[in-house]
Structure formats: C-alpha cells, structure tokens
C-alpha cells in the first residue's frame, strides 16, 4: 500500500534524493509535513469543485497544472480533469490538428470536446500515442 503522510514526513530530504527524486525530494518532505501538521486537509480539498481542487493543489510547493490534473483525476477520481504532457500535446497537434501552444488551453479544449468523462479519453489518447501509434 502507499505510505501515509506521516511515514513520508518521517523521512529526510536526503532519503528521497537517494531514491532518485532529485530536486523533487524537498517537495515531498514539505507537502508530507504540511499534511501531518494539518496545514493541508486532503479530505476537505476533496470536497471542492474540480476547478477549486486543482487551484488548491497548485498552491502546494512543486505542484503545477499537469500534476494537479493528475492528482484530481487519479487521486480524487475527477474524470473531468485532462492532464496534458508531451504525449497529449503531440496527440493534440498531430492527430487533432490543433495549434494552441498553452497546455492549460489544450486541456480546456479536450474537456470541451469530451465533456465530463474527458479523463477517461485522456488515458486512451495517452496510451495510443505512447504505445500503439509507435509500433
């Protein structure tokens, strides 16, 4: 099972660096400590709308738009989230003929296309681009 925030917070930044997390090691320690100290209430932010949830997640050190979308989709089952990474950006440009450069706007475009279940489509598109199309 995935370790609790308390277990994660009990480790040092050096511990995570030795595992290969590099500069992200500090973020893991800081966020784990914020959760254990009560500065972040994961259940409470889970009650927010998807937009509110992602805005709240982005306030955490080391969390950007893509990670917030991933946490919303995979951690909170917000299937109206659409993480955009390099592979999804390629799908957008190469398979949908898109020309938007801003990843947040690309995510909005896909959510507009696929609506409330866009997160499921994101997974299929990612798998297609990463695995099937390259065979």
CA of 131: how far to CAs of 65, 83, 87, 92, in Å? 24, 17, 10, 16
Angle between helices 118-127 and 103-114 (to 10 degrees): 110
Instruction: In whole angstroms, give the CA distance from residue 43 to residue 64.
Output: 20
Q: Does 66 participate in catalysis according to the annotation?
A: yes
Reference 11, options 1, 23, 30; nearest CA is 30
Q: Are 106 and 88 in contact (CB under 8 A)?
A: yes
Greatest Cα pair distance, the chain, in angstroms, is 48
Single out the catalytic residue among 11, 66, 105, 115: 66
- Quote the DSSP letter at residue 74: I
- Name the residues annotated as catalytic: 66
């Amino acid at each position: 099972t995935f370790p609790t925030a308390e277990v994660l917070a009990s480790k040092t930044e050096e511990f995570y660096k030795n595992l290969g997390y590099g500069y992200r090691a500090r973020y893991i320690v800081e966020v784990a400590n914020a959760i254990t100290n009560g500065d972040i209430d994961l259940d409470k932010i889970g009650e927010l709308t998807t937009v509110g949830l992602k805005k709240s997640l982005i306030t955490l050190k080391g969390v950007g738009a893509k990670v917030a979308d991933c946490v919303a989709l995979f951690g909170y089952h917000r299937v109206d989230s659409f993480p955009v990474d390099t592979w999804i950006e390629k799908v957008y440009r190469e398979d949908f003929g898109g020309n938007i450069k801003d990843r947040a706007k690309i995510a909005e475009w896909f959510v507009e296309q696929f609506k409330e279940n866009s997160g499921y489509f994101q997974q299929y598109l990612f798998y297609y681009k990463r695995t099937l199309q390259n065979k």
